[in-house]
């Protein structure tokens, strides 16, 4: 009778515990994150956005019901992050998952909302078929909406969601000034950069006059690829702007290359002299790097002509970055005719090299001649880790702390205009957008832009580490089972000994 009563109590306790866990799960959500980049832990920036939501946010996730395994994980991850968003928003954010493949009406609704289907190849044991799948979402506040047309596996989900919510909820966006009037790149030549910046900022082209300054309204001013000279009055206005504690992003060419004449020459805009006065010197040279891009060269053979790709060290592929929010998550930036940057300024100022060349690099003096067919050898690259982008902080001008991010290639974010426009390498865009984000935005959303799954191929891991991972995955479950078995045996033995003792009831 006593044993039956104990069993009933035990069952009731389990049922009560299950009910309590369910009640708590409706109000609290947490998960343990052991990933290296904490990709499953929401940032403080996201938490602040969710806590400050004033109007209800509705997120409609359009996901097909049946997806291949790798895409099913994306759907599950997106659902989990929405659960956490909803919990932190204290009821101000609601979401629903809709399967557009259920019927034609729902499919049309998804496409009209801006979520377009993608074709996925699915391979079975004896067949291969193509699936039309939906993997997108619509964020809505009132009558305004923001669309995530496709959620790429491994993409930065938190950034897409948080910036979408902020874009809809922020009324007055900070203004970024794009300086014009000295041959700089226009807004239309920076379309990919503009598309990313316009989520959180208003980007406004402007010019300086010799007598008046209109810089005060800009949180950051960007100067990209100037070609003409800066008058002294304009440089003085930039000094006054920094004296207010403001920020500058400068991407400038100190040299230029001309493929039609196979020659390189110096660019003088007076901006380089102005920067040198602050200790930042953009050297009058061409950076060369063994880790580089290529150019097309015409080859002639009897009866026909064809193009071939030739390595061109004057196009360095930059993959060495300082650990900093500006460069976090960036893997490579392709530059063209960059120069080395040195800092010899006041020790009260802080200079941080953000991007450097590889361990096999060098410089060529200017002017120079490009020998396209030159066979490059190791001796041509005697230097290493030359700075091509850096950050200067401190009292650069006046008594207030200000910041300058300088890149020694003015064309790295420029795609061109009209028919001459071209797609820019994604990380080229990220470098400029991250820079302006960090200079302008105090919310911390910059940390989320490149937060996602990092590729770690096995062939890039040492053999010893591969063996350790393999045997750990194989042996760890067995070891845990053996330890649990030993624990059970010992516990049962102790119980038997206790029962044999005198006075045991």
Residue 179's pLDDT band (cuts 50, 70, 90): very high
* 505 domain-assigned: no
* 239 domain-assigned: yes
Burial 299-333 (b: 16+ CB within 10 A, else e): eeeeeeeeeeeeebbbbbbbbbbbeeebbbbbeeb
* Contact by Cβ (8 Å): 72, 135: no
340: pLDDT strictly greater than 60: yes
26-30, 124-128, 174-178, 278-282 — which is least confidently predicted?
26-30
Burial 57-75 (b: 16+ CB within 10 A, else e): bebbbbbbeebeeebeebb
Q: How far apart are CA 498 and CA 82, in angstroms?
A: 52
Residue-wise pLDDT tens digits, 47-74: 888 888 888 999 999 999 888 877 888 8
Residues 38 and 100 in one domain: yes
Residue-wise pLDDT tens digits, 122-157: 766 556 677 888 999 999 998 889 999 988 876 778
* Contact by Cβ (8 Å): 44, 445: no
88-102, 124-138, 243-257, 359-373 — which is least confidently predicted?
124-138
CATH for 88:
3.40.30.10
Residues 52 and 92 in one domain: yes
Residues 254 and 366 in one domain: yes
Tokens representing 398?
């006046």
Residue 449's pLDDT band (cuts 50, 70, 90): low
Q: Which residues contact 249 (CB under 8 A, 6 or more apart)?
A: 220, 221, 222, 223, 404, 405, 432, 435, 436, 439
255: pLDDT strictly greater than 70: yes
Residues 124 and 267 in one domain: no
Segments forming the whole domain that contains residue 479: 461-498
CA dihedral in degrees (317, 345, 177, 423; nearest 10)?
0
Residues 110 and 244 in one domain: no
Q: How many helices (H) and strands (E) does the chain have?
A: 10, 24
Q: What is the pLDDT of residue 30?
A: 53
Give the CA angle between residues 342, 344, 349 to the nearest 5°.
105
61-70, 271-280, 435-444 — which is least confidently predicted?
435-444
345: pLDDT strictly greater than 90: no
Question: Residue range 200-208: average pLDDT?
Answer: 92
Residues 185 and 125 in one domain: no
* Contact by Cβ (8 Å): 165, 402: no
Tokens representing 346?
């006041």
Residues 472 and 398 in one domain: no
What is the three-class DSSP state of 391? Answer: strand
**Which of 105, 137, 169 marks a domain boundary?**
169
Query: Which is more confident, 300 or 99?
Result: 99
Q: What is the pLDDT of residue 454?
A: 47
Q: How far apart are CA 166 and CA 444, in angstroms?
A: 12
Question: Residue range 258-284: average pLDDT?
Answer: 95
* Cis ω before 367 (30° cut-off from 0): yes
* 136 domain-assigned: yes
* 9 domain-assigned: no
| Residues in the chain, overall count | 505
Residue 470's pLDDT band (cuts 50, 70, 90): low
141: left (phi over 0), alpha (psi -120 to 50) or beta: beta
Q: How far apart are CA 141 and CA 139, in angstroms?
A: 7
Q: How far apart are CA 238 and CA 223, in angstroms?
A: 11
Residues 374 and 444 in one domain: yes
The count of structural domains within the chain is 3
2: pLDDT strictly greater than 60: no
Of 451, 161, 455, 412, the C-alpha closest to 329 is 451
478: pLDDT strictly greater than 50: yes
* 15 domain-assigned: no
Q: How far apart are CA 150 and CA 136, in angstroms?
A: 5
- Neighbour count for residue 148 (Cβ, 10 Å): 23
**Which of 141, 169, 197 marks a domain boundary?**
169
* Contact by Cβ (8 Å): 405, 396: no
Residues 340 and 427 in one domain: yes
Question: Residue range 155-162: average pLDDT?
Answer: 82
* Contact by Cβ (8 Å): 355, 339: no
Residue 460's pLDDT band (cuts 50, 70, 90): very low
* 127 domain-assigned: yes
- Give first-to-last CA distance, the chain, whole Å: 15
316: pLDDT strictly greater than 70: yes
463: pLDDT strictly greater than 60: no
Question: Residue range 350-360: average pLDDT?
Answer: 96
Residues 215 and 356 in one domain: yes
Question: Residue range 349-375: average pLDDT?
Answer: 94
pLDDT exceeding 70 applies to what percent of the chain?
81
Residues 143 and 182 in one domain: no
**Which of 122, 139, 169 marks a domain boundary?**
169
Q: What is the pLDDT of residue 89?
A: 87
* Contact by Cβ (8 Å): 124, 69: no
CATH for 195:
3.40.50
For all residues of the chain together, what is the average pLDDT? 84
* 125 domain-assigned: yes
Q: How far apart are CA 122 and CA 129, in angstroms?
A: 5
Residues 253 and 398 in one domain: yes
Tokens representing 359?
């361990």
pTM of the shown model: 0.72
Residue 130 backbone phi and psi in degrees, to 5:
-105, 135
* 11 domain-assigned: no
């Amino acid at each position: 009778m006593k044993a039956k009563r104990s069993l009933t109590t035990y069952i009731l306790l389990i049922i009560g515990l299950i009910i309590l866990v369910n009640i708590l799960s409706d109000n609290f959500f947490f998960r343990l994150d052991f990933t290296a980049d904490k990709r499953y832990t929401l940032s403080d920036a996201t938490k602040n956005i969710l806590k400050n939501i004033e109007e209800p946010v509705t997120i409609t996730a359009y996901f097909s019901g049946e997806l291949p395994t790798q895409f099913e994980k994306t759907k599950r991850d997106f659902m989990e992050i929405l659960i956490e968003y909803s919990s932190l928003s204290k009821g101000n954010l609601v979401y629903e998952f809709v399967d557009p493949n259920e019927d034609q009406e729902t499919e049309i609704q998804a496409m009209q909302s801006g979520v377009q289907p993608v074709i996925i190849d699915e391979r079975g044991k004896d067949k291969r078929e193509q699936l039309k799948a939906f993997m997108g979402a619509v964020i809505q506040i009132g009558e305004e909406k923001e669309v995530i047309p496709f959620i790429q596996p491994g993409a930065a989900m938190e950034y897409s969601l948080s910036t979408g919510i902020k874009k809809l909820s922020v009324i007055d966006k900070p203004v970024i000034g794009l300086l014009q009037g000295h041959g700089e790149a226009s807004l239309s030549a920076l379309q990919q950069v503009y598309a990313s910046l316009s989520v959180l900022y208003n980007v406004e082209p402007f010019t300086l006059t010799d007598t008046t300054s209109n810089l005060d309204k800009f949180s950051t001013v960007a100067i990209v690829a100037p070609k003409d000279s800066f008058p002294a009055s304009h440089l003085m206005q930039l000094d006054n702007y920094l004296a207010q504690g403001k920020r500058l992003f400068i991407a400038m060419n100190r040299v230029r290359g001309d493929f039609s004449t196979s020659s390189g020459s110096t660019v003088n805009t007076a901006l380089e002299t102005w920067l040198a006065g602050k200790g930042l010197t953009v050297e009058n040279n061409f950076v060369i790097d063994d880790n580089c891009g290529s150019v097309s060269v015409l080859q002639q053979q009897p009866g026909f002509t064809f193009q071939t790709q030739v390595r061109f060290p004057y196009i360095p592929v930059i993959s060495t970055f300082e650990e900093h929010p500006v460069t976090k998550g960036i893997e490579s930036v392709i530059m063209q005719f960059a120069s080395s940057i040195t800092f010899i300024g006041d020790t009260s100022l802080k200079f941080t090299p953000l991007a450097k060349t590889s361990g096999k690099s060098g410089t060529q003096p200017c002017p120079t001649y490009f020998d396209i067919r030159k066979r490059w050898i190791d001796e041509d690259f005697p230097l290493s880790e030359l700075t091509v982008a850096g950050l200067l902080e401190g009292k650069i001008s006046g008594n207030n702390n200000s910041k300058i991010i300088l890149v020694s290639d003015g064309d790295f974010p420029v795609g061109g205009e009209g028919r001459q426009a071209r797609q820019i390498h994604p990380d080229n865009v990220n470098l400029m957008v991250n820079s302006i984000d960090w200079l302008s935005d105090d919310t911390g959303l910059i940390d989320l832009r490149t937060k996602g799954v990092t590729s770690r191929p096995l062939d890039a891991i040492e053999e010893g580490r591969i063996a350790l991972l393999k045997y750990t995955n194989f042996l760890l479950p067995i070891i845990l089972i053996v330890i649990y078995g030993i624990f059970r045996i010992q516990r049962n033995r102790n119980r038997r000994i206790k029962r044999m003792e005198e006075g045991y009831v």
